[in-house]
Amino acid sequence: MERPAWAPPGIDISVPSVSRMYDFYLGGSHNFEVDREAARKAMEFLPGLPKTMQANRAFMRRAVRYAVGHDVTQFLDIGSGIPTFGNVHEVAQAASDAARVVYVDHDPVAVAHSRAVLEGVDRAAVVAADLRKPHEILRSPEVTELLDLDQPVALLLVAVLHFLEDSDEPGAAVAELLDALAPGSLLVLTHASYEGIPVPQERAGGAVDVYRDIRNPLVMRSNAEIARFFDGTELVEPGLVPMPLWRADNPDDEEDPFAFSGYAG
């Protein structure tokens, strides 16, 4: 298999990556045949996966604009993946000259590509770190230099918590991050769920099996289980809802049923 110029040395391009599969769903070009194969296999069970990912990205952009509208201009985006058009720093910096963004991911391809995209971009940086180790994220030079944790920060956990199993203690990781942030900070998250998927759970389970087979288990949680990540915070209206229902730009737009596969808050 030929290694493309943008692939960081040392990564195994024979193993599918969740962030490159996500890039493929969104129509990006930073993925390998092995990623496309796994993504197509998942789409045999859930053909609307690209629509789900688009709804996820659209929610993220609305949430970033909401944050800036409420004078929160610092963003910590964990599990940020491969930057695609309309990423957090583009949306935030278009809305405010003061916006500062730190991306965090543990996928070497995502980190390398983020560094390339951010070359020459002021007030944005990327950290190679894992959500399971919040202290490493919070102590990283990029976070300590770019963000002022004594001022409100928007913590973005968009489509990442469902890749942490209960044994990884995702609730404790979220709580540790929130504890480090100033009053007035925001928690922005989306999470996969069987609730709302327009196919029977058994069939959706086929797609979940694809992720388990590539050693990136996808943990589907219920609305009540996802809501626990917000413990100790005050949910912004309309609460934890299917992604297209969170402060839609055009509430009357016809949405693909697969856009409702997952919750946002």
- The tens place of each residue's pLDDT in the chain, 265 residues long, gives 567 776 777 777 788 999 999 999 999 988 889 999 999 999 999 999 999 999 999 999 999 999 999 999 999 999 999 888 789 999 999 999 999 999 999 988 889 889 988 999 999 999 999 999 999 999 999 999 999 999 999 999 999 999 999 999 999 999 999 999 999 999 999 999 999 999 999 999 999 999 999 989 999 999 999 999 999 999 999 999 999 999 998 877 778 999 999 999 9
Is 68 among the domain residues?
yes
**Residue with the two structure tokens 């030929």:** 2
Domain presence at residue 179:
yes
Contact (CB, 8 A) for 8 and 70 = no
For the stretch 84-141, pLDDT in tens is 878 999 999 999 999 999 999 998 888 988 998 899 999 999 999 999 999 999 999 9
For residues 227-249, one letter each, b for 16 or more C-beta atoms within 10 angstroms of the residue's C-beta and e for the rest, the string is: bebbeeeeebeeebbbbbbbbee
Q: What is the pLDDT of residue 2?
A: 67
In a domain, 239, yes or no: no
| Domain limits for position 121 | 18-230+256-264
Residue 248 counted as domain residue? no
pLDDT at res. 1: 59
Instruction: Supply the DSSP symbol for 119.
Output: T
**CATH number for position 57:** 3.40.50.150
> In this structure, how many other beta carbons lie within 10 angstroms of the beta carbon of residue 151?
15
- Determine the pLDDT at residue 113: 85
Kindly state whether residue 238 falls inside one of the protein's structural domains: no
Query: Has residue 160 been placed in a domain?
Result: yes
Is 235 domain-assigned?
no
| pLDDT score recorded for residue 85 | 76
Residue 219: predicted pLDDT: 97
Is residue 13 assigned to a domain?
Answer: no
Domain count of the fold of the chain: 1
Q: Which residues contact 258 (CB under 8 A, 6 or more apart)?
A: 46, 47, 48, 49, 51, 52, 55, 197, 198
